[in-house]
Chain A
Amino acid sequence: MLESLLEFLIQGVVLGGLYALFAVGLSLIFGVLDVINVAHGEFFAVGGYLAFAAVVLLHLPGAAGVLGAAVGTFLLGLCVYPLLIAPLKRRLGGRPQGPLYLVLTLGLSTFLQSSLLALAGGDYLRVPPQVSGILDLGVTAVSHQRLLVLAVAAALLTALFAFLRFHPEGLAVRAVALNPDAAQAMGINLPRIFSLTLALGVALAGVGGALMAPLFNVYPAVGFPLTIKAFAITILGGMGNPVGALVASFLISIAESLSVMVIPSQWQSLIAFAVMIVMLLVRPRGLLGRAVSR
């Protein structure tokens, strides 16, 4: 009993690394741009395909695949603000946005997902793991690939939070999240910060996609379920709060993997949504959310 508890706990923590990589970016984008990126999972998929292209097609080492995914999704993310969000913002002026941004990123999601389908086909592509081997922990065994996901997630998220805390550009990102008008009045270039934030957020998802490709396989819709789950995570953590998203990622992943001891595993995914709905009814601002009604 205790052994299996420990085993599921470890698996949950490892899964939490992936969730965090994904959800922190989503939450950061929402906090700064006030846009829910429904297409976040498609950047995860693009990252997976870039890793496949680098490793399988070009025979580059695994690290090059991860790097390529990071750079590729970052560049793709840089285009999203100027090409899609800024024009809509200009057109709306001060009028209420209604569902328009949601619909816009939903359109982007459909567009990217089906473009991947058109370019690469619907087959499940296999990507060799970046690292091989298994770590035996006694109670359970964890593959080195999963540990790599956790380690990279920890390193990148530490770097991100350090960037937001200490780097002038990161301070500007936080200033914009707090109050865009005041930030602009202080001379911060808003479009630049918006583009940068979006690119950083989706690049985290892209790296996640490249690292998970050996575990999940790669196909066009691989990221979408993760997007939906990440919505639940960001709500639990408080929307627009990256630290909250980090905490909530681990809470959800651990709850999911422990749930296997009580309920059949095919119902596992229900937990995130049930938590989300309960959370929205009880405390809509989330665990660490700001007390603002939107």
Chain B
Amino acid sequence: MKTRARLTLAAVGVAALLPVLLPHPFVLTIATQAAIWALLAASWDLLSGYTGQISFGHAGFFALGAYGAAVATKHADLSPWLGLLVGAGVAAAVGLLTGFPALRLRGHYLALVTLGLAEIIRLVAQNWLEVTGGPFGIHDFRSLPGLPAGALVAAMYQVCERTSAGQAFRAIREDEVLAQTLGIDTTRYKLLAFTLSSAFAGLAGGLYAYYVQLVNPVIAGAATTSLVIGMVVFGGLGTLWGPVLGALLLYGLYEGLRFVGVVYNLVAVGFVIMVFVIFFPRGLAGLGRSA
């Protein structure tokens, strides 16, 4: 586990150095976007893999972060750093509000409720023309490099691996009743997991908005959630570093296959998800360990 985590860190390091070694704009773009996707994938894993609360709505939190940041910069003329915080704050607030009803739901039901939430967010983004710009979205606002994504992933890893919150999250996933009898305030920690996860998803959204310079309702669509869950399953549920690796590789594959044909990359993503779920349910993180 420890060596694997180190290997991943090394892989992330190589990915981070790649733009320096190969200072081609295409490589830089892909590396930055992969890092942002890695942050989003890790945020999903924090809630769903670590704490066991399945969300199908992370595209919604991502979009809230992206729109929050874009609106703050474009309409309120805030600095991008503040915009990032605004986006994360909006996402975290909605995440916390989702957490309350979600306390009563689990498994399938929670997944479907969060999917519905993301659909609502997408519809609002599409129809609230004055603020969101409707189907065309918001573009042309001040930018920010996407590189902080790496630091944010590291911060999330610290929270989950070094603090008692991380232990509580895992205890809730493994056996909620047992966690309760052990004196873990499961309500508090579940809400914390919801808030943290949606805040990091919002940060990923903000970084995405500032890097890509365009937010539109498409990013709130289920395809975003699908890609992110694919990355996590590919990398390994509940490990945080697995999803990061999964995101870097799967996003690389996704972009790399554009040379073969724009449509085949999604065929491949769907195929990779199915094969990994069936044959390696623990993802890359579980390779080499007995299943």
Chain B residues 77 to 121 lying within 8 A of chain A, measured CB to CB, are 101, 104-109, 111-113, 115-117, 119-120
**Residue contact A111 to B222, C-beta cutoff 8 Å:** no
Q: In this assembly, does B281 line the interface, its C-beta being within 8 Å of a C-beta of chain A? A: yes
The docked-state distance in angstroms from the alpha carbon of A284 to that of B105 is 8
Question: Are B104 and A269 neighbours in the complex by a CB distance under 8 Å?
Answer: no
Bound-state CA distance A277–B54 (Å) is 16
Given A110-B269, A224-B222, A270-B123, A100-B108 contact (CB < 8 Å): no
Bound form: Cα–Cα A85–B269 in Å: 18
For residues 116 through 161 of chain B, which have their beta carbon under 8 Å from a beta carbon of chain A?
A: 116-117, 119-120, 123, 126-127
Question: Is the CB of B183 closer than 8 A to any CB of chain A?
Answer: no
Tier of interface size on chain A: 35 or more
Complex alpha-carbon distance, A231 and B110, angstroms:
12
> Within 8 Å CB of B278, what residues of A?
84, 87-88, 91, 104
Given contacts A84-B278, A88-B281, A118-B261, contact A102 B266 (CB under 8 A): no
Instruction: Report how far A115 CA is from B226 CA in the complex, Å.
Output: 16
Interface SS of chain A: helix, strand, loop or mixed?
helix
Complex Cα distance A269/B113, Å? 15
24 A-B contact pairs sorted by A residue (CB < 8 Å): A87-B279, A88-B278, A91-B291, A98-B54, A102-B54, A102-B108, A102-B111, A103-B229, A103-B230, A107-B274, A110-B273, A111-B267, A111-B271, A113-B270, A114-B270, A117-B266, A235-B109, A267-B123, A267-B127, A273-B119, A280-B101, A280-B113, A284-B109, A294-B107
Name B residues whose Cβ lies closer than 8 Å to a Cβ of A: 48, 52, 54, 56, 101, 104-109, 111-113, 115-117, 119-120, 123, 126-127, 222-223, 226, 229-230, 233, 237, 261, 263-264, 266-267, 269-274, 277-279, 281, 291
Interface residues of A (CB under 8 A from B): 36, 84, 87-88, 91-92, 98-100, 102-104, 106-115, 117-118, 224, 228, 231-232, 235, 239, 264, 266-267, 269-270, 273-274, 276-277, 280-281, 284, 294
